[in-house]
Amino acid sequence: MRLIRHLDDFTSDLRGGAVSVGNFDGVHLGHARIIGRLMRSARAAGGPAIAFTFDPHPAVLLRPDHVPPPLTTTERKAELLGRLGVDAVIAYPTDHRFLGLSAHDFFNHILVDALGARAVVEGPNFFFGHDRRGNVEVLARFCSEASIDFQVVEPYDAEGQIVSSSRTRKCLAEGRVEQVAAMLTEPYRVHGMVVHGAGRGASLGFPTANVDMVPTLLPCEGIYAGRGYVEGQSVPAAISLGPNPTFDEGRRKLEVFLLDFEGDLYGQLIEIDFLARLRDVERYNSVDDLLQQMHRDVEATRRIVQQAQESFRVPS
């Protein structure tokens, strides 16, 4: 899979296939359904499958005070889409000139001239062009006039609710990471840099990595079970997100205890999967009470990680 950031890097071997345009934030099961149809359309067209997305999100320029917190970085998004089978991800460098294109100009300049699309696949709520004046009905007409196959893929429904990026954000804000994992193609993952903390965890027998500079949305405060990834190694991780009221610390922090791991993590990038929420952040009457609870959290984490599915259901 190739991540392309400029159309000048879009080579001729990637033309003449199937294209899907969207934000693909989080890469949830609805996105996976679109990509599944995209793959079939690409095979029928005898060309590659291309996902076209934006960097930054158009709302950063159009509605900077109402930008939804991102669920994935561009690199993570491309990684997940690549695992679904796309041949290339175009992360178009969004600017005001691009956002000023009419729906017709977007179709002609991007889909026809630049990408040479022979098929286009979108969800029913797709909008494009200046002021979002283009919709699937307009796109269907453009494609028909240009002899391009066009297909609309219905949303993915889970337990009576449509899976979407906004629903994913809502569940994260409520700490329902198990439900989030069931909506995504992989468990929800964040990354950040390990920085120096107070060092209290090591003195208690639980050396934690203090993680800062996380560019994506974090779940609500709580204690979580998950997985940590350091230099390609995956280990169970007990995660604390929030203040430390037992020690009268009110600052919200992301601290990760990697089970069965030894090594110096300072200055390293760490990735964290959130698998399950264990409990709220609580104040304890004594350090001993806190330590007993931390031991219970570690054992629960170990059990949850052992039971976690290694692969998640992806709809066709």
CATH of the domain at 291: 2.40.30.30
* The two three-digit tokens of residue 70, written as one number: 């991102």
Share the mean pLDDT of the chain: 93
169 occurs within a structural domain: no
Same domain, 233 and 300: yes
Same domain, 189 and 249: yes
pLDDT digit string (tens) for 176-217? 999 999 999 999 999 999 998 776 776 687 889 999 999 999
Strand pairing category for 18-21 and 2-4: unpaired
202 occurs within a structural domain: yes
Same domain, 191 and 244: yes
Please state, in angstroms and rounded to a whole number, the distance separating the CA atoms of residues 297 and 276.
11
Amino acid code (one letter) for 221:
E
Same domain, 150 and 225: no
The predicted pLDDT at position 204 comes to: 80
Same domain, 117 and 254: no
Higher pLDDT, 69 or 76: 76
CATH number at residue 122: 3.40.50.620
pLDDT digit string (tens) for 218-274? 999 999 999 999 988 899 999 999 998 887 777 899 999 999 898 889 999 999 999
Same domain, 7 and 154: yes
Amino acid code (one letter) for 98:
F
Name residue, tokens 């009576």: 160
pLDDT at 284 over 70: yes
Same domain, 129 and 22: yes
Same domain, 219 and 257: yes
166 occurs within a structural domain: no
What's the whole-model pTM score?
Answer: 0.93
Dihedral (Cα; 180, 5, 148, 34), 10-degree rounding: -10
99 occurs within a structural domain: yes
Same domain, 192 and 293: yes
168 occurs within a structural domain: no
pLDDT at 125 over 80: yes
Q: Which one of 158, 174, 194 terminates a domain?
A: 158
pLDDT over 70, % of the chain: 95
Domain that holds residue 269: 184-307
- Contact at 8 Å (CB) between 53 and 89? yes
pLDDT over 90, % of the chain: 85
The predicted pLDDT at position 311 comes to: 45
Domain count, the chain: 2
Same domain, 200 and 147: no
